[in-house]
Structure formats: structure tokens, C-alpha cells
Structure 1
């Protein structure tokens, strides 16, 4: 019996020693993967609490833990509403990472914990609010009841067609909302993250600058870091088509360039700006969120002084389009995260889609150069016809041509992580927004419901 007790005591001591050693290791030198996880959790909770007004526990569970790596379930998040600070720690103790709410500029990751510097990087401006204008959409938030289509509404109510964890769907035809639907806990006034749909909006901001002659497709010597370097010959058009030739690891399964950029680096531009050239610019398609950050920094440098650059999205695009809910988030140093972080309501995402449908013209005023939207619909040769010269997609989510799904050939897409899509169908004068928390591994394809919508409208027209 004494031998057994000694064994148990020895095992207990060993467990304690291992726990102490593990705790010391996690405290002194935690794995970067834990820092990335905590950075992701802090940022997502921060944005959804302060921009979308959601409950932090719901966001942590639904948006961070439920669809992700099992280790994410061990993260614990603290929200300080008074200071706007959010902290996430593994098991509530280790590898802390942070986010900070900055009002009009939403939330930013603060991986170095320097909240003061992060607060000073952008001006303190009032946060945008969803417009209260009762005019009929798109001029306001009112919906033309006469334009409503009961058959389309029935399609949106079909859970099989809507897909898992749908949060917003909006169908616009002939410039009017004909049907919309929202998931439990979400509404027409809930701002939702577009993830990589932000890239296309970022490209439109470049188009706005082109109208004033401050930037052009053929521009080279785009960043001071590339002076006296072969990268100085990269053209703006190479970046717009994801053909820069720069190395960038977009694998989200581990600590890759993209996760390091978003959650470990206070200056997100620094990583892609220092990336080596691995292919001849203009010859090789390589999807890269780093490229979108470079584009943000480039147009911000061209827009004027730092304050003018920070004001530019609202002055040049969101204001004219009436996208009153739009919050374009910036990194800790003040560069817009043009790869990922634009929040807007489903109706405001539909406004942007309608803007592209109208060839960059709004209320009779041309806001994008002639041919710019056509460029957004023109494929790059190196992408095999999938990606366009203007940060948009011709293939729908999950791949496949429009013809494979019976969709019109002129359909093009904005696409974002976890099921964010805007489809633009010029030949049908239609825009379709579908947003949610629908990871790609679930296999959901919004092309199916879009085909049903178009078929229903076509049948009604023929009848």
C-alpha cells in the first residue's frame, strides 16, 4: 500500500512540475499560433460588440469558437467598454493579444499592446450610424412595398437555399429591393464584415482617385521601400490583378503571412512591402491579402496628407453612395485594412453592388472612370479566367463558371471569407447579397439560390 501511495505522490508531483513548466513556457515564450488566435478573437469580438452592438459572449462562441480550431474554445475574452479595449488570453492566462475601438475607424488589432499609439494614429471622429432617412432605398432606408416579390421572398425563406448560418440576404432588381431576409439576431441595421469583399471596395477607391488624375494603372515606383529595387517596376495594374510577382503565403491553417500580417504586426504593410519578388510582374496570378494592404497604402499616399487619406473613403465613396453604416477599419498605424475589414449592413453592401451595376455612376454623376467597371469584369490571363483585373471574381464561391450553374455569362462577384458574397448580374439588372458565417468546408454555393432567383424572375416575365 505504501508503494502505491508513493507512486501516486510521485505522479502528482510530476503533473504539478509539468503544469508549472508548461505555464512558465506559455508565459515567457508562448507559441505564435496562440498569439494569432488571441488576436483574432480580440479583433472579432471588438468589432462586433462596438460596431454591430452584439453580445460579446455570443460573438466569442458563434463567430470565433464554433466554426474554428478546437483550441479556440480555450480562449477567454475581456471587454472594457469604457476604454474600448478588448483582451483575449488562452485559458484566460496566456499569450494575450488585444484590440482597440477607435470610433469612426472601428476596431484595430493592437498586438504590441501600445494602446496610446494606436489611439493617436487616427483622429477621434463620431462613429457612423445607419441612416434614418425614410426615402425609398437606395436614397434612404425605406422599402418600396410595391416592388416586393413574394415568390423571391419564399426562396429566401428556404433554409436549404439560404444556407447554414445565413445572416443577411438582399435581392435588388431594377434599382429596388424586391426581397430581403435576415438570420436570428440580425436585421437590416446590423453591420456585417465583408472580409475579402473589402478588396473590391478598396479597388473602387483607387478608381475614385483616378478620376482626379492622382493615380493610373501604369504607375510604377509605388512605394518608397522599393526604390532602387526590381520591385520598383511593379505596376499598379499588376497589383490590381493579383499579379505582382511578390511572395505571400495566404494559408490560414497556421501562422502564415496573412495571419501574421493581420494579428501579429502593428504595421500590416511592412510584411508584404518587404516580400521578395519571385515571379515576373504581370505573369503569375497569386491571391494575396498582402497585395490589398499594399494598394491601401499606395492610394493613401496619393490621396494627400494623412488626415485627407483617412477621410477619403467616406468623402469619396461612402458619403456619395449613402453607405451610412460603412466602417472601414485600419491597422494600428493607420493604414486601411483593404484586404478584410469593411463592416456595412446588407443594404449598404447592396448599394455598392448597385453602384457597380450602374457602371460607377450614382444619381447621374460618374464616380468611376469610363471602363473601370469593365476592367473589374475582365479576367487576368494568369488566373485562368477566374480573377479580374480589378479585385473581383468571375468564378463564383467554390469555383466553377457561370455556365456550369446556368447563370448569365456577365455575372461577376465580390467574395469574402465564411460565405460573404455580392453577385452582380448586369443582363438581369440584378444584385444579390448573401452574408453569413458559412465556412467553405460546408460546401454551400450561393450560385444555386441565385439561379433560382433568376429563373423565378424570368418565368414571371415570360408569363
Structure 2
């Protein structure tokens, strides 16, 4: 009996230690589940059942129990009945995790949208794409590539695939539950959208990439030498922990902070600019705050990405989500249909020109595709690169927007290709090199 009591006591102690060590993580787990559910239901118009079965059915997040309130347009999650978090929907701004500082009446303005119905074929307009036939395209080879992308669905977990060639739709495929109109979370592909706003402002003559970051508290210390270029290239030298497995800078920012532009701003320098390359979602949200500083009013800031880029090229399904304080979460939270993500890639393939209008300069494309020192040729300026042959069987001029769980917009200028792939698995489960190399083989 004494032995049994000792064993039970030991088990109680072990359970207590486990709870103590993991209790703070429950806040992150329930926050992720609630936010993902709310956006999936109220931004992407998917069912709660589908979101629970697939998107939230991943390690740790699957521990959360999530419920949707259609009337309140919100979702709430708990883990073992603990740490309840709620995310609410705001028209035009997506969903946001609320906390004690949240005031539903505080942020009442919304971005203005300008959605024009035209008769121009996709991707340059809203009409259906042309039935284009290219004699030089090997359709059999292309079909092989598509089949490969969707092969072994339990592992690769591809949801959608679309290929544009010379500005024409070659092929697209969607799994059940997804269509050409279904908004999909781009995760870190959003970083490339945010960066493009800086390219537009540069083209308009309103800023330069070598300007010092306009942050007052940096002017008195070594951070004064950090430029916009350093931030866009993730080589500012600022401390940052991009670890999603526990409590870290990035998880605290995304699931606890009301103002997501602040956390990177407050970090100390651990190296002079350019000496290290350190991928940081906090840097992108800091840039979102800097973008906001370029405008006289909050309304102008909210309108700018849509009026100057998103609605300008017809990405009408896109929604940029904002934090509690009304800053765009440029690191992570842009939703758009597969077709609209492809429009973004086509804009870059066309070097910033859209239906005759130069939205950003052709040199901006060269800038974002120039390798950043210490990134091993894999990163430019908020875009990923193949400069050193990370994908050995794909042209080295490829550059791309990459997001968590394998969201990709690939641009391959030498092949006149834009490829969009979305899903729930990335490398090595999803064979990027294999799928892209087979698509490349289909065109001359």
C-alpha cells in the first residue's frame, strides 16, 4: 500500500511539473486555434467542421476545443478547459485575437476597396481565361507534374496548383472543398506583399531603400545605422527568436501582442547590420509600422496596399488582416484565392507593369531577387531565391514567396512561368524540386 501511495504521489508530481512547464503554451495553442478557425470561417467562408478536421488537426493545436459563434462572428478555443482565447471578425480587417485591451468601438475605420468588373481575360482582368494553346508546351509532361503535386495526398497535402505561362492560364487543379475563388492563407507569403508596398513608394519617389529606419529610439545607439534595405533583407543585426515550437518572440507577437509592430523595434542589436542574416517575422511587422508612418492618417495607411497594389491588379479576394491596434500583420496574415496569388506572381514576372501601368520599377524586381549576404543565396529582399541551386533541377533565376505549410508563389523569368501551390505540408514532405522540374520540362 505504501508503494502504491508513493507511485501515485510520483505521478501527481510528474503531472504537476508537466502542467507547470506547459501551461503558458496553452495560451499560444488556444490562440492559434481560435484565430485560425475564425479566419477560416469568416474570411475564407469554410466550414468549422473542415477547419477542425484539417487545418487545426495538427500536433498541439489538435488539443484545443474550438467553437464558432456565427452571430457574434467569433471563435473561441480552450485546451483541457483552460486558457480560453477568442478571435473576432472585423469587416475589411479580417479576424484578431482579443485581449483585455480590446475595444470593439476603438477601431471603426476600414480600408476602402475599389473592385471593378471588367471584360479582360484572367489573369489581367476579371473575365474567364482564354483557351490558349501553345504548340511548344508538352501537355503530357505538364499533366505528369500536376499528378506528382497531388500524389500521396496524406503526405504531400497539396490543396491547389496553378500554372501561368506567358500570362496565360495553362492548368489549375483544386481538391474537394476548394475552388478558384477560395481564399487561402499565405502565411509568410504576406511578407512579399508588404515589401512590395515599399517598392511602390520608392517608384513614386517617396522613399529610398538606403534611408535609415525612421525609428526615434534607435537614433541614440548602434541601431541608428539600420536602413530599410537591412530590414527588407533580414540583416539588421537585431535579436529575434523565430521559434514556433514554444514561447518565443514570434509566438508572443502573433498570439499575445496588441501592437505587433513593437516587439522587433524594442530588440537590441546583437551584430552590426549585414554581419548576420536572421529571418524575423518581427522585422516585417516593424516594416508595417514604418509603412504606417509614411501616411498622414490611419485611413490612408489602410487604403494604400489596396489602392496601389491589391485592387490595382484585381486581387479582389485578398484580405490583409490587422492587429488590435490596426496595423497590418505583414508577416503572416494575407488571404487570397489561388488565382489572385498567381496575379501577384505575374506582376513580378512582368517587372511591375500591369495593363500598361508601371506599378513599381523594373529595377525593383532585380533588387528583391539579388541574394542577401549570409543567406547562402536563398534570400533576397523579402523573397526567397534559387540563386545557389537549392532546387537543383530548376532554373537559378527562380524567386518566390514562401509560407508556412507549403504556400508558394514561384516566378521563373527564364521560362515565363508563374506557379502557385498551396497545401498543408512543405519540404521534405512536398517535393518542390520534383514538381517544379517537371513543370519546367513542359515548356521550352
TM-score under structure 1 length normalisation? 0.86
Given the alignment of the two structures, is residue 443 of structure 1 paired with residue 438 of structure 2, yes or no? Answer: no
Within 5 Å, which residues of 2 pair with 1:308-457?
308-388=300-380, 390-395=381-386, 401=389, 405-440=392-427, 442-457=428-443
Cα displacement (A) at 1:411: 1.1
Give 3-state SS (helix, strand or coil) of 1:222's partner. Answer: coil
Partner of 2:65: 76
1:85 to 36, 56, 74: 74
Cα distance in 1 for residues equivalent to 2:182 and 2:259: 29
The yes-or-no answer on 1:196 pairing with 2:199 is: no
Tell me the residue number matched to 1:239.
231
State the 1:238 CA deviation.
0.4
Indicate if the aligned counterparts of 2:259 and 2:325 stay in contact, CA closer than 8 A: yes
Change (3 A) 1:224 1:362: same
> How far did residue 314 of structure 1 move?
0.6
Match of 1:220 in 2: 212
Task: Please state if 1:39 is matched with 2:31.
Answer: yes
Describe how 1:174-193 pairs up with structure 2 within 5 A: 174-193=166-185
**Is 2:42 the counterpart of 1:50?**
yes
- 1:233-312 pair list within 5 angstroms: 233-312=225-304
User: CA-to-partner distance for each residue in 1:283-318, whole Å, 9 max, x for gaps?
Assistant: 211111111001111111113311100111111101
> TM-score, normalising length from structure 2?
0.90
Asked whether the 8 Å contact 2:415–2:443 carries over to 1, the reply is: no
Deviations 1:344-402 (A, max 9, x none): 000000000000001111111111124111011100122121111x2111139xxx715
Per the TM alignment, residue 73 of structure 1 is displaced from its structure 2 partner at its CA by: 2.7
SS at match of 2:56: helix
Q: Given the superposition, is the C-alpha separation of residues 122 and 342 from structure 1 closer, same or farther in structure 2, using an over 3 Å criterion?
A: farther
Distance in 2 (alpha carbons) for counterparts of 1:284 and 1:60? 39
Between 1 and 2, higher relative CO (CA 8 Å, sep ≥ 6) is seen in 2
Taking the aligned partners of 2:166 and 2:310, their CA distance within structure 1 comes to: 21
Distance 1:68 1:132 in 2: 43
Check if 1:136 corresponds to 2:124.
Answer: no
Query: Of 102, 113, 119, which aligns to 2:90?
Result: 102
Counterpart in the other structure of 2:162? 170
Deviation at 1:221, TM superposition (A): 4.3
Counterparts of 2:238 and 2:309, CA distance in 1:
29
Q: How does 1:147-162 map to 2 (within 5 A)?
A: 147=133, 150-151=139-140, 152-158=142-148, 159-160=150-151
Show structure 2 runs of 5+ residues with no match. none
Distance in 2 separating the partners of 1:414 and 1:318: 16
How much is the aligned-residue C-alpha RMSD, in angstroms?
3.0
Counterparts in 2 of 1:305 and 1:125: CA distance versus 1, 3 Å:
closer
Distance 1:90 1:393, change over 3 A: same
The structural deviation recorded for 1:14 is 8.2
Shift of 1:261: 0.6
Q: Secondary structure at the match of 1:137?
A: coil
- For 1:122 and 1:200, locate their aligned partners in 2 and report how far apart those are by CA, in whole Å: 27
Aligned residue for 1:461? none
More helix by share: 1
2:191 is paired with a residue of what secondary structure?
helix
